[in-house]
A and B are shown apart, each in its own frame.
Chain A
């Protein structure tokens, strides 16, 4: 228990935990060449499939079917990208995915912060039970909601429309719990009390005290939610058709085509992953930090 709180306190300053790690490593843990070698192998395994996707996307279907497989880029990239774009309707799909993932992210971050703040700092009846319920429901598999949701959305005439995909994901138990854990530490209770004494309403407090304090965690939760929403598969594939797909649904239709052109499929996979990879290049450090932060607490 005490260990946890030390590490949590340290994590807030960002640098401290790494120092602790070094101290924990202290005497012996300078990485040697073997460590770098093994890490390099892991890195290769992590990156190679992605790099090879790009290689395959620049070849022709016939070349991909031959042995040995191509190990360097060919000249067909743009033809394949165009074909994938047209065949899978990736233009619509990308736009849909941006709308879906964007809406879900904004709503999840907003509502998670509000609920997380209430659970972390406000006193109200049943708060303990409700928090327990929140955590407990993290175990419920999404499959359990799919049949009724499908029936309801069909009844509303909403099948194949974006709100069908958006609505069930507007909030997550994980997000609420994540924000609660962060705010318990990051938001001094005295600050809220001082604002109360000054006569600030709860909304003012949220706006002027909670949101600024929660900003780093909101950013991380936002990134994690966006990755999750962009990659979500089960519900979109049931709720949407190829006429109005998200990127994942479009990729699925590419992959299950009856006359598949592998090079085109790889071009599609490349396109579908690219936005997230770019986000990852830009915010990789924050995403890593966020996962590590959510980890022990989870």
Chain B
């Protein structure tokens, strides 16, 4: 197995801009690090000179501090535009609905079925052994066609509106290749949205320590070409 020191290949629409920002940051800070270490070593090794005088402080300290202020401001500005695009707005109303449910130590994924609406759930009905890990309430009409899978299947090129929740403790829902990460909390529902762009199989990891099985709380996301995905959905039964 070859180790890549960089991120796994990006497979999401927003990922290219994020990767660009990451590369820019790494380049700038690596260069600054080398520069600072070089100045440190040079300062020690060069022949002793006169003590830097007070009036030079403008040049030696305040000008660089102003430059750093501008640099941090520019980086923050750029990355805030990214963050705003990722999170400030909600998903498109036409986005595909899917729910991810975290529990010690597995992920389950619920699809709303033909009616495109999730049925209500109740923690008292949760029974992974009996095929109801999501706790779907059979009394709710909308839940009759919901189906739950242990792998996440998504279409390429269509926005996904992901509902995130947890049954027991905090879990971290992370798909490195799709550049998304969000904690799942018991008692709360969070939404994140993103668009997978490249078909393939990618890993889903738990990134918030959740108990002794944290390291094996993993799943797979299969991003399919749109047509293949439509076929897959049609074949699914509750």
Indicate, yes or no, whether A interacts with B. no
* Residue ranges of A at the interface with B (Cβ–Cβ < 8 Å): none
